[in-house]
Structure 1
Amino acid sequence: IFGLVILCVGIYAEVERQKHKTLEGIFLAPAIILLLLGFTMFGVSFVGMVGSLRDNRTLLKMFFWVLLVIFLTELLLLFIEIIFENKMNAVFHSNIQEGIRHYYDDLDFKNILDFVQEKFSCCGGDEYRDWEVNQYHSCNGSGPLACGVPYTCCIRKAPGEVINTLCGYRTLDKERLELLDVIHVRGCIHAVGLWLKDNFEATLGIVCSLLLPQVCG
């Protein structure tokens, strides 16, 4: 049922995204990820349920092998990310820059990036200067956002502090050392990567604890 709910949400989100489509990269389309996740969860659960109710060995074997393939694929992707970290970072950076370019045109991407920047205390993809590619934040612009970064990049002095939305004003033309008390200068690719490395054992443990019982059962 949960898989079906995710699938329906994904379909609705994708229909809405198509009305105002500006981004093509799969990394920038949460609706597509929801569609794939929902379809996979619903399909696998349906096969397992029918196989169990009808005591159908073929369906139960299919259920087992699909779960095993999903488990091994996740492990493979994890190791690929570790081994080819630089190449993967370049792919993510390219997609994030494209998203930043259309930051105010795509609400889904905007909400995700704002959340990541606040949650992981980071700014941009590779670094804070990535915001230069956005026409409103470019130093060549003339608006109030010119040469600045969104407020989600700013450092909060105290938890729950009401932050000034123009706190990132005129930061793109300054050096990193000048901004250490104003905005987060580290890029989100590096911040998230460090978090994953710091929590690698816990993350792997959670994945294994969720998938291994299903595969072995």
Structure 2
Amino acid sequence: MSGNHYKGHEVSCCIKYFIFGFNILFWLLGMALVGIGLWAWSEKGVLSNISSITDLGGLDPVWLFMVVGGVMFILGFAGCIGALRENTFLLKFFSVFLGIIFFLELTTGVLAFVFKDWIKDQLNLFINNNIRAYRDDIDLQNLIDFTQEYWECCGAFGADDWNLNIYFNCTDGNPSREKCGVPFSCCTKDPAEDVINTQCGYDVRAKLDSEQKDYINVKGCVPQFEKWLQDNLTLVAGIFIGVALLQIFGICLAQNLVSDIEAVRDSCFFT
């Protein structure tokens, strides 16, 4: 006999332990992401000075680890313990939470399509805010460098966006050696160079616009991101559809298990 059995009603062991095994992976991965976030904060001294969290002008990438890890931990805990202990409250919480996430993702997708011009402006604002804070946080700096290298871009809409940063602007009062330059991640790559030249962007914006393209990527990250989305539309759509189907599948399994548990309890109650 599989599962608890009362007068023809039983809890499916297959569904129960599938939900348990699936969610324990999410639980452990969530804990790992939160742990990585806490470790990164401790390395930057944030844990010894919590107020420093609000000191940054741009995004601290560690927040991504903390938020995603926290959500995965909560979902994994509810699904894992709910299935193992046949706790209908935790299973319903798991279903509702997963349903809310699915609804938010769907709403975000629709709004992003309808208000794509507004999203574009907000993305521009977001990138420029992070450009201002480029030297304030090593994780943010690495994220911006990775983005500019991966999409072969520079700034939000062009290299001149780096005028927003106090180290790279072209004002006469700027004493920085990086004045009128850009980060090395904006530079075009020479396949013959094995070592990254971190000074390749020095003084490059003091040159004529026609000369700059010989040294740096002159396209902005916003149009490059749009181009990447268009070129990889099938892949992006496939990922979103796959995630959505996985969430719907999880909700259906959890609700099925809740129905089985309640049916068994009702049978036991009337015995």
| TM-score range normalised by the length of the shorter chain | 0.7 to 0.9
What is residue 66 of structure 1 aligned with on the other side? 97
What is residue 237 of structure 2 aligned with on the other side? 204
User: Structure 2 CA distance, aligned partners of 1:157 and 1:5?
Assistant: 37
Of 50, 56, 69, 2:87 maps to 56
Structure 1 position 185, deviation (Å): 1.0
Of stretches 73-82 and 32-41 in structure 1, the one that deviates more from structure 2 is: 73-82
Of stretches 43-52 and 199-208 in structure 1, the one that deviates more from structure 2 is: 199-208
Deviations 1:24-78 (A, max 9, x none): 45xx121222221111101011111122112233432332222222122123223
User: Structure 2 unaligned runs (5+)?
Assistant: 1-27, 254-271
What is residue 115 of structure 1 aligned with on the other side? 146
User: Structure 2 CA distance, aligned partners of 1:14 and 1:83?
Assistant: 37
Correspondence 1:157 to 2:193: no
Aligned ranges 1:138-153 → 2 under 5 Å: 138-140=169-171, 141-153=174-186
Structure 1 position 128, deviation (Å): 0.9
What is residue 44 of structure 1 aligned with on the other side? 75
Aligned ranges 1:178-217 → 2 under 5 Å: 178-216=211-249, 217=253
| Number of corresponding residues | 215
Structure 1 position 181, deviation (Å): 2.4
AA in 1 matched with 2:33: I
Higher gyration radius (CA) = 2
- Equivalent residues of 1:128, 1:149 under 8 A apart: yes
Q: What is the aligned-residue identity percentage?
A: 34
* CA RMSD, Structure 1 to Structure 2 (Å): 2.3
- Equivalent residues of 2:201, 2:216 under 8 A apart: yes
Higher RCO (CA 8 Å, separation ≥ 6 residues): 2
* DSSP-derived class of the 1:61 partner: helix
After superposition, the Cα gap between the structure-2 partners of 1:143 and 1:33, relative to the gap in structure 1 and judged at 3 Å, is closer
* DSSP-derived class of the 1:9 partner: helix
User: Structure 1 unaligned runs (5+)?
Assistant: none
- Equivalent residues of 1:14, 1:32 under 8 A apart: no
Correspondence 1:135 to 2:162: no
What is residue 10 of structure 2 aligned with on the other side? none
After superposition, the Cα gap between the structure-2 partners of 1:54 and 1:149, relative to the gap in structure 1 and judged at 3 Å, is same
User: Structure 2 CA distance, aligned partners of 1:146 and 1:182?
Assistant: 16
After superposition, the Cα gap between the structure-2 partners of 1:159 and 1:87, relative to the gap in structure 1 and judged at 3 Å, is farther
After superposition, the Cα gap between the structure-2 partners of 1:213 and 1:176, relative to the gap in structure 1 and judged at 3 Å, is same
After superposition, the Cα gap between the structure-2 partners of 1:17 and 1:35, relative to the gap in structure 1 and judged at 3 Å, is farther
AA in 1 matched with 2:222: I
- Equivalent residues of 1:114, 1:152 under 8 A apart: yes
TM-score w.r.t. length of structure 2: 0.70
User: Structure 1 CA distance, aligned partners of 2:192 and 2:149?
Assistant: 12
Correspondence 1:80 to 2:107: no
- Equivalent residues of 1:64, 1:215 under 8 A apart: no
User: Structure 1 CA distance, aligned partners of 2:45 and 2:160?
Assistant: 28
After superposition, the Cα gap between the structure-2 partners of 1:159 and 1:85, relative to the gap in structure 1 and judged at 3 Å, is farther
User: Structure 1 CA distance, aligned partners of 2:222 and 2:56?
Assistant: 19
TM-score w.r.t. length of structure 1: 0.86
AA in 1 matched with 2:234: E
Structure 1 position 175, deviation (Å): 4.9
User: Structure 1 CA distance, aligned partners of 2:203 and 2:133?
Assistant: 20
